[in-house]
Protein backbone atom coordinates (compact mmCIF):
# COMPACT_ATOMS: atom_id res chain seq x y z
CA UNK A 1 0.00 0.00 0.00
CA UNK A 2 2.99 2.30 0.33
CA UNK A 3 5.23 3.61 -2.40
CA UNK A 4 8.25 4.38 -0.27
CA UNK A 5 10.49 7.33 -1.10
CA UNK A 6 8.56 8.11 -4.29
CA UNK A 7 9.51 11.46 -5.75
CA UNK A 8 6.40 13.14 -7.06
CA UNK A 9 7.26 15.55 -9.82
CA UNK A 10 6.31 18.74 -8.16
CA UNK A 11 7.15 22.41 -8.01
CA UNK A 12 4.43 23.10 -5.48
CA UNK A 13 5.98 26.15 -3.86
CA UNK A 14 3.66 28.20 -1.69
CA UNK A 15 4.13 31.95 -1.33
CA UNK A 16 2.38 33.43 1.65
CA UNK A 17 0.46 36.42 0.39
CA UNK A 18 0.81 36.49 -3.36
CA UNK A 19 0.60 32.78 -4.08
CA UNK A 20 1.14 31.51 -7.61
CA UNK A 21 -0.53 33.42 -10.42
CA UNK A 22 -2.88 35.19 -8.06
CA UNK A 23 -3.44 32.11 -5.92
CA UNK A 24 -3.32 34.15 -2.74
CA UNK A 25 -6.80 35.48 -3.48
CA UNK A 26 -8.21 32.05 -4.26
CA UNK A 27 -11.12 30.90 -2.10
CA UNK A 28 -10.30 27.71 -0.23
CA UNK A 29 -12.39 25.35 1.96
CA UNK A 30 -11.19 25.17 5.55
CA UNK A 31 -12.32 22.60 8.13
CA UNK A 32 -12.50 23.41 11.85
CA UNK A 33 -10.92 20.32 13.39
CA UNK A 34 -11.97 20.90 17.00
CA UNK A 35 -15.67 21.10 16.14
CA UNK A 36 -18.18 18.53 14.90
CA UNK A 37 -21.08 18.95 12.51
CA UNK A 38 -23.02 15.75 11.90
CA UNK A 39 -20.35 13.22 10.79
CA UNK A 40 -17.64 15.68 9.77
CA UNK A 41 -15.93 18.92 10.68
CA UNK A 42 -17.75 22.15 9.82
CA UNK A 43 -16.19 24.15 6.99
CA UNK A 44 -15.71 27.82 6.29
CA UNK A 45 -14.32 29.61 3.26
CA UNK A 46 -11.21 31.76 3.40
CA UNK A 47 -8.75 33.24 0.95
CA UNK A 48 -5.59 31.24 0.54
CA UNK A 49 -3.44 34.10 1.85
CA UNK A 50 -5.64 34.47 4.95
CA UNK A 51 -5.31 30.77 5.68
CA UNK A 52 -1.52 30.89 5.33
CA UNK A 53 -1.39 33.87 7.68
CA UNK A 54 -3.46 31.91 10.22
CA UNK A 55 -1.15 28.93 9.83
CA UNK A 56 1.98 30.97 10.45
CA UNK A 57 0.45 32.54 13.56
CA UNK A 58 -0.70 29.14 14.81
CA UNK A 59 2.84 27.79 14.52
CA UNK A 60 4.36 30.91 16.09
CA UNK A 61 2.07 30.50 19.11
CA UNK A 62 3.08 26.85 19.56
CA UNK A 63 -0.20 25.35 18.33
CA UNK A 64 -2.44 26.64 21.15
CA UNK A 65 -5.07 24.09 22.14
CA UNK A 66 -7.61 26.78 22.98
CA UNK A 67 -7.51 28.15 19.40
CA UNK A 68 -9.32 26.74 16.40
CA UNK A 69 -7.32 24.11 14.54
CA UNK A 70 -7.98 24.85 10.86
CA UNK A 71 -7.32 22.41 8.03
CA UNK A 72 -7.36 23.47 4.38
CA UNK A 73 -8.75 20.38 2.67
CA UNK A 74 -10.61 19.27 -0.46
CA UNK A 75 -9.19 22.21 -2.41
CA UNK A 76 -9.72 21.62 -6.14
CA UNK A 77 -6.34 23.12 -6.97
CA UNK A 78 -6.04 21.64 -10.47
CA UNK A 79 -9.51 22.80 -11.38
CA UNK A 80 -8.78 26.29 -10.03
CA UNK A 81 -5.38 26.58 -11.75
CA UNK A 82 -5.49 24.29 -14.82
CA UNK A 83 -2.43 25.89 -16.44
CA UNK A 84 -0.16 25.63 -13.41
CA UNK A 85 0.85 21.97 -13.90
CA UNK A 86 2.16 21.64 -10.38
CA UNK A 87 2.78 17.89 -10.55
CA UNK A 88 2.45 14.71 -12.58
CA UNK A 89 0.23 11.81 -11.60
CA UNK A 90 2.29 8.70 -10.76
CA UNK A 91 2.17 6.11 -13.53
CA UNK A 92 0.35 3.48 -11.50
CA UNK A 93 -2.60 5.81 -10.94
CA UNK A 94 -2.90 7.28 -14.45
CA UNK A 95 -5.78 5.09 -15.63
CA UNK A 96 -8.40 7.29 -13.97
CA UNK A 97 -11.95 7.06 -15.29
CA UNK A 98 -13.43 9.30 -12.64
CA UNK A 99 -11.37 12.39 -13.35
CA UNK A 100 -11.25 11.68 -17.07
CA UNK A 101 -15.05 11.79 -17.11
CA UNK A 102 -15.20 15.07 -15.20
CA UNK A 103 -12.50 16.63 -17.35
CA UNK A 104 -14.29 16.12 -20.66
CA UNK A 105 -17.28 17.58 -22.45
CA UNK A 106 -20.27 18.86 -20.55
CA UNK A 107 -19.09 17.13 -17.39
CA UNK A 108 -16.10 19.44 -16.85
CA UNK A 109 -17.60 21.03 -13.73
CA UNK A 110 -15.86 19.05 -11.05
CA UNK A 111 -13.01 16.70 -10.29
CA UNK A 112 -11.72 14.46 -7.53
CA UNK A 113 -8.19 15.89 -7.23
CA UNK A 114 -7.46 17.76 -4.05
CA UNK A 115 -4.77 19.60 -2.15
CA UNK A 116 -4.68 19.28 1.63
CA UNK A 117 -2.53 21.43 3.92
CA UNK A 118 -2.71 21.90 7.63
CA UNK A 119 -0.84 22.26 10.90
CA UNK A 120 0.27 19.58 13.28
CA UNK A 121 -2.82 18.17 14.98
CA UNK A 122 -5.26 18.70 12.11
CA UNK A 123 -7.11 15.54 11.12
CA UNK A 124 -9.83 13.86 9.07
CA UNK A 125 -12.57 11.82 10.81
CA UNK A 126 -13.27 8.12 10.19
CA UNK A 127 -14.72 7.52 6.72
CA UNK A 128 -14.56 5.59 3.44
CA UNK A 129 -13.92 7.36 0.16
CA UNK A 130 -16.61 8.59 -2.22
CA UNK A 131 -18.28 5.89 -4.36
CA UNK A 132 -15.94 3.35 -2.75
CA UNK A 133 -13.31 4.60 -5.17
CA UNK A 134 -9.61 4.03 -4.81
CA UNK A 135 -7.57 6.91 -3.47
CA UNK A 136 -3.94 7.88 -3.30
CA UNK A 137 -2.29 10.50 -1.14
CA UNK A 138 1.20 11.92 -1.69
CA UNK A 139 3.00 13.82 1.04
CA UNK A 140 4.82 16.86 -0.32
CA UNK A 141 6.09 17.76 3.14
CA UNK A 142 5.25 16.79 6.68
CA UNK A 143 4.12 13.52 8.20
CA UNK A 144 0.73 11.78 8.47
CA UNK A 145 -0.51 8.91 10.59
CA UNK A 146 -3.16 6.62 9.12
CA UNK A 147 -5.45 4.07 10.72
CA UNK A 148 -6.85 1.79 8.03
CA UNK A 149 -9.55 -0.87 8.38
CA UNK A 150 -10.26 -3.61 5.80
CA UNK A 151 -13.83 -3.86 4.45
CA UNK A 152 -16.14 -5.37 7.05
CA UNK A 153 -14.27 -4.09 10.09
CA UNK A 154 -16.23 -0.83 10.05
CA UNK A 155 -19.37 -2.65 11.24
CA UNK A 156 -17.68 -3.04 14.62
CA UNK A 157 -17.19 0.72 14.76
CA UNK A 158 -20.87 1.59 14.51
CA UNK A 159 -22.79 2.72 17.56
CA UNK A 160 -26.05 1.18 18.73
CA UNK A 161 -27.91 3.44 16.30
CA UNK A 162 -25.85 2.27 13.33
CA UNK A 163 -23.75 5.43 13.00
CA UNK A 164 -20.04 5.20 12.23
CA UNK A 165 -17.67 6.41 14.91
CA UNK A 166 -16.51 9.97 14.37
CA UNK A 167 -13.14 9.39 16.05
CA UNK A 168 -12.05 5.76 16.39
CA UNK A 169 -9.50 6.73 19.06
CA UNK A 170 -12.04 8.32 21.40
CA UNK A 171 -12.94 6.74 24.72
CA UNK A 172 -16.56 6.46 23.57
CA UNK A 173 -15.87 3.48 21.30
CA UNK A 174 -14.79 1.44 24.34
CA UNK A 175 -18.23 1.83 25.91
CA UNK A 176 -20.08 -1.46 25.20
CA UNK A 177 -23.43 0.17 25.76
CA UNK A 178 -22.73 2.68 22.99
CA UNK A 179 -20.55 0.50 20.71
CA UNK A 180 -21.71 -3.07 21.40
CA UNK A 181 -19.55 -4.70 18.69
CA UNK A 182 -16.27 -2.87 19.27
CA UNK A 183 -14.68 -5.87 20.99
CA UNK A 184 -15.12 -7.86 17.76
CA UNK A 185 -12.74 -5.55 15.91
CA UNK A 186 -9.89 -7.75 14.68
CA UNK A 187 -7.92 -5.93 11.99
CA UNK A 188 -6.53 -2.44 11.68
CA UNK A 189 -3.33 -1.04 10.26
CA UNK A 190 -1.35 1.91 11.54
CA UNK A 191 0.83 3.59 8.91
CA UNK A 192 3.12 6.59 9.29
CA UNK A 193 3.57 8.40 5.98
CA UNK A 194 6.71 10.48 5.49
CA UNK A 195 7.55 13.24 2.97
CA UNK A 196 7.84 11.93 -0.59
CA UNK A 197 5.78 8.81 0.15
CA UNK A 198 2.47 7.87 -1.44
CA UNK A 199 -0.17 5.74 0.20
CA UNK A 200 -2.78 3.84 -1.83
CA UNK A 201 -6.13 3.23 -0.14
CA UNK A 202 -8.09 0.33 -1.67
CA UNK A 203 -11.81 0.48 -2.35
CA UNK A 204 -14.01 0.28 0.72
CA UNK A 205 -11.23 0.65 3.29
CA UNK A 206 -12.34 2.98 6.06
CA UNK A 207 -9.65 5.19 7.50
CA UNK A 208 -8.84 8.09 9.80
CA UNK A 209 -5.87 10.40 9.25
CA UNK A 210 -3.88 12.84 11.41
CA UNK A 211 -1.20 15.34 10.48
CA UNK A 212 1.64 14.54 12.88
CA UNK A 213 3.57 17.55 11.56
CA UNK A 214 2.71 20.57 9.44
CA UNK A 215 1.80 18.84 6.22
CA UNK A 216 0.96 19.45 2.56
CA UNK A 217 -0.40 16.58 0.49
CA UNK A 218 -1.97 15.83 -2.88
CA UNK A 219 -4.95 13.46 -2.90
CA UNK A 220 -6.93 11.85 -5.72
CA UNK A 221 -10.03 9.67 -5.77
CA UNK A 222 -10.10 7.46 -8.85
CA UNK A 223 -11.55 4.32 -10.37
CA UNK A 224 -11.01 2.29 -13.52
CA UNK A 225 -11.68 -1.12 -15.04
CA UNK A 226 -10.23 -2.88 -12.01
CA UNK A 227 -12.75 -1.30 -9.64
CA UNK A 228 -15.81 -0.32 -11.68
CA UNK A 229 -17.68 -3.38 -10.39
CA UNK A 230 -16.94 -2.33 -6.80
CA UNK A 231 -18.49 1.08 -7.39
CA UNK A 232 -21.51 -0.50 -9.10
CA UNK A 233 -22.05 -2.90 -6.20
CA UNK A 234 -21.70 0.01 -3.76
CA UNK A 235 -24.47 1.91 -5.57
CA UNK A 236 -26.71 -1.16 -5.66
CA UNK A 237 -26.31 -1.76 -1.92
CA UNK A 238 -27.09 1.84 -1.12
CA UNK A 239 -30.13 1.88 -3.40
CA UNK A 240 -31.46 -1.22 -1.65
CA UNK A 241 -31.07 0.57 1.70
CA UNK A 242 -32.90 3.61 0.32
CA UNK A 243 -35.73 1.47 -1.02
CA UNK A 244 -36.12 -0.24 2.34
CA UNK A 245 -36.22 3.11 4.15
CA UNK A 246 -39.04 4.51 2.01
CA UNK A 247 -40.76 1.23 1.16
CA UNK A 248 -44.04 2.55 2.60
CA UNK A 249 -44.20 4.93 -0.39
CA UNK A 250 -43.53 2.25 -3.01
CA UNK A 251 -46.97 2.54 -4.57
CA UNK A 252 -46.70 6.26 -5.18
CA UNK A 253 -46.05 7.70 -8.63
CA UNK A 254 -42.39 8.50 -9.24
CA UNK A 255 -41.13 6.25 -6.45
CA UNK A 256 -38.17 4.92 -8.46
CA UNK A 257 -37.13 8.44 -9.42
CA UNK A 258 -37.34 9.58 -5.80
CA UNK A 259 -35.14 6.66 -4.73
CA UNK A 260 -32.55 7.84 -7.25
CA UNK A 261 -32.71 11.38 -5.86
CA UNK A 262 -32.06 10.08 -2.34
CA UNK A 263 -29.30 7.77 -3.60
CA UNK A 264 -27.49 10.69 -5.21
CA UNK A 265 -27.78 12.79 -2.06
CA UNK A 266 -26.17 9.97 -0.05
CA UNK A 267 -23.44 8.78 -2.42
CA UNK A 268 -22.88 11.63 -4.87
CA UNK A 269 -24.17 9.60 -7.83
CA UNK A 270 -27.34 8.01 -9.13
CA UNK A 271 -27.70 5.29 -11.78
CA UNK A 272 -27.91 7.80 -14.63
CA UNK A 273 -24.68 9.50 -13.53
CA UNK A 274 -23.01 6.12 -13.29
CA UNK A 275 -24.08 5.16 -16.80
CA UNK A 276 -22.92 8.51 -18.19
CA UNK A 277 -19.46 7.76 -16.83
CA UNK A 278 -19.53 4.25 -18.32
CA UNK A 279 -20.75 5.58 -21.66
CA UNK A 280 -18.07 8.27 -21.75
CA UNK A 281 -15.27 5.81 -21.08
CA UNK A 282 -16.69 3.01 -23.22
CA UNK A 283 -17.18 5.24 -26.24
CA UNK A 284 -13.56 6.42 -26.12
CA UNK A 285 -12.20 2.90 -25.84
CA UNK A 286 -14.38 1.74 -28.73
CA UNK A 287 -13.19 4.61 -30.90
CA UNK A 288 -9.60 3.74 -30.09
CA UNK A 289 -10.07 0.06 -30.90
CA UNK A 290 -11.82 0.87 -34.18
CA UNK A 291 -8.55 2.47 -35.28
CA UNK A 292 -6.35 -0.37 -34.02
CA UNK A 293 -5.83 -4.05 -34.63
CA UNK A 294 -7.38 -5.90 -31.71
CA UNK A 295 -5.28 -8.67 -30.17
CA UNK A 296 -5.81 -12.04 -31.80
CA UNK A 297 -7.85 -14.61 -29.89
CA UNK A 298 -4.81 -16.53 -28.73
CA UNK A 299 -2.56 -13.58 -28.10
CA UNK A 300 -1.63 -13.00 -24.49
CA UNK A 301 -1.33 -9.33 -23.69
CA UNK A 302 0.17 -7.49 -20.78
CA UNK A 303 -2.11 -4.56 -20.04
CA UNK A 304 0.60 -2.51 -18.40
CA UNK A 305 2.84 -2.17 -15.41
CA UNK A 306 1.60 -4.09 -12.38
CA UNK A 307 -1.72 -5.14 -13.95
CA UNK A 308 -3.30 -8.51 -14.71
CA UNK A 309 -2.33 -10.37 -17.86
CA UNK A 310 -5.28 -10.93 -20.16
CA UNK A 311 -6.21 -12.90 -23.25
CA UNK A 312 -7.42 -11.10 -26.33
CA UNK A 313 -10.58 -13.23 -26.26
CA UNK A 314 -11.44 -11.87 -22.78
CA UNK A 315 -13.38 -15.05 -21.96
CA UNK A 316 -11.56 -15.26 -18.67
CA UNK A 317 -9.39 -12.86 -16.71
CA UNK A 318 -6.16 -14.27 -15.40
CA UNK A 319 -5.07 -13.07 -12.02
CA UNK A 320 -1.36 -13.60 -12.49
CA UNK A 321 0.43 -10.32 -11.84
CA UNK A 322 3.23 -9.17 -14.11
CA UNK A 323 6.74 -9.25 -12.80
CA UNK A 324 8.09 -6.07 -14.38
CA UNK A 325 11.46 -4.88 -13.13
CA UNK A 326 12.24 -1.28 -12.30
CA UNK A 327 14.09 -1.06 -15.62
CA UNK A 328 10.96 -2.15 -17.46
CA UNK A 329 8.95 0.44 -15.57
CA UNK A 330 11.30 3.24 -16.57
CA UNK A 331 10.98 2.23 -20.22
CA UNK A 332 7.18 2.10 -20.18
CA UNK A 333 5.80 4.28 -23.02
CA UNK A 334 3.49 6.12 -20.63
CA UNK A 335 6.12 6.88 -17.99
CA UNK A 336 6.14 10.59 -18.76
CA UNK A 337 2.39 11.14 -18.89
CA UNK A 338 1.42 14.61 -17.80
CA UNK A 339 -1.12 15.04 -15.00
CA UNK A 340 -4.03 15.60 -17.41
CA UNK A 341 -3.11 12.64 -19.62
CA UNK A 342 -4.76 9.96 -17.54
CA UNK A 343 -6.23 8.08 -20.50
CA UNK A 344 -3.45 5.49 -20.48
CA UNK A 345 -5.41 2.79 -22.40
CA UNK A 346 -5.19 4.82 -25.63
CA UNK A 347 -1.58 3.71 -25.84
CA UNK A 348 -2.32 0.06 -25.08
CA UNK A 349 -5.01 -1.75 -27.05
CA UNK A 350 -5.02 -4.78 -24.75
CA UNK A 351 -5.57 -2.46 -21.80
CA UNK A 352 -8.60 -1.10 -23.63
CA UNK A 353 -9.92 -4.59 -24.32
CA UNK A 354 -9.56 -5.47 -20.64
CA UNK A 355 -11.38 -2.30 -19.58
CA UNK A 356 -14.17 -2.79 -22.10
CA UNK A 357 -14.74 -6.33 -20.91
CA UNK A 358 -14.98 -5.16 -17.31
CA UNK A 359 -17.40 -2.47 -18.44
CA UNK A 360 -19.46 -5.02 -20.36
CA UNK A 361 -19.89 -7.18 -17.27
CA UNK A 362 -21.24 -4.23 -15.29
CA UNK A 363 -23.57 -3.10 -18.08
CA UNK A 364 -25.08 -6.59 -18.32
CA UNK A 365 -26.26 -6.06 -14.76
CA UNK A 366 -27.31 -2.46 -15.36
CA UNK A 367 -29.34 -3.07 -18.53
CA UNK A 368 -32.17 -4.88 -16.73
CA UNK A 369 -32.48 -2.29 -13.97
CA UNK A 370 -35.95 -0.77 -13.88
CA UNK A 371 -34.68 2.27 -11.98
CA UNK A 372 -32.73 3.46 -15.04
CA UNK A 373 -34.51 5.68 -17.56
CA UNK A 374 -31.91 5.47 -20.35
CA UNK A 375 -32.32 1.77 -21.10
CA UNK A 376 -31.97 2.20 -24.87
CA UNK A 377 -28.62 3.93 -24.46
CA UNK A 378 -27.40 1.13 -22.19
CA UNK A 379 -28.54 -1.51 -24.66
CA UNK A 380 -26.82 0.31 -27.52
CA UNK A 381 -23.49 0.54 -25.68
CA UNK A 382 -23.74 -3.07 -24.55
CA UNK A 383 -24.41 -4.16 -28.15
CA UNK A 384 -21.26 -2.35 -29.28
CA UNK A 385 -19.22 -3.94 -26.52
CA UNK A 386 -20.53 -7.42 -27.31
CA UNK A 387 -19.48 -6.92 -30.92
CA UNK A 388 -15.88 -6.58 -29.72
CA UNK A 389 -15.97 -9.92 -27.91
Report the pLDDT value the prediction gives residue 351, as an integer from 0 to 100: 86
Mean pLDDT of 25-54: 96
Report the pLDDT value the prediction gives residue 389, as an integer from 0 to 100: 79
pLDDT per position as a tens digit, 171-186: 999 999 999 999 999 9
pLDDT per position as a tens digit, 120-129: 999 999 999 9
pLDDT at residue 51 greater than cutoff 90: yes
72 within some domain: yes
Domain span at 100: 2-150+187-222
Least confident of 84-93, 319-328, 346-355: 319-328
At 23, give phi and psi (nearest 5°). -65, -20
Q: Are residues 202 and 297 in the same domain?
A: no
Report the pLDDT value the prediction gives residue 347, as an integer from 0 to 100: 56
Q: Are residues 276 and 210 in the same domain?
A: no
Inter-axis angle of helices 271-290 and 255-267, nearest 10: 80
In the chain, how many domains are there? 2
293 within some domain: yes
CB 367 within 8 A of CB 375: yes
Q: Are residues 377 and 244 in the same domain?
A: yes
Q: Kindly indicate the confidence band of residue 388, based on its pLDDT and cuts at 50, 70 and 90.
A: confident
pLDDT at residue 193 greater than cutoff 90: yes
pLDDT per position as a tens digit, 266-308: 999 999 999 999 999 999 999 988 886 654 434 444 433 333 3
- Helix locations, the chain, DSSP H: 48-60, 77-80, 97-103, 228-245, 255-267, 271-290, 326-330, 349-366, 375-388
At 267, give phi and psi (nearest 5°). -110, -15
Q: Are residues 208 and 259 in the same domain?
A: no
Amino acid sequence: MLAGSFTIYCEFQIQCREGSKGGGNAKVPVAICNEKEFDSHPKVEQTFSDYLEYWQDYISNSYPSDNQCLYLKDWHFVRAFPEYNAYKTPLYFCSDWLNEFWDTGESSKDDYRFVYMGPKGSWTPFHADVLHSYSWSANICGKKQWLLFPPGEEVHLRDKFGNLAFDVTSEDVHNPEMYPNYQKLSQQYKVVQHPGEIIFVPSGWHHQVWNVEDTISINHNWLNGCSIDLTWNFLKRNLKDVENEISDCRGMEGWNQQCQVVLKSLTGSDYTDFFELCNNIGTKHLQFLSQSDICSTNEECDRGVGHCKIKGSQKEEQKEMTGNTSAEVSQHPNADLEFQEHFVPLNNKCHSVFDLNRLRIVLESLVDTEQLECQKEVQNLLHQLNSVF
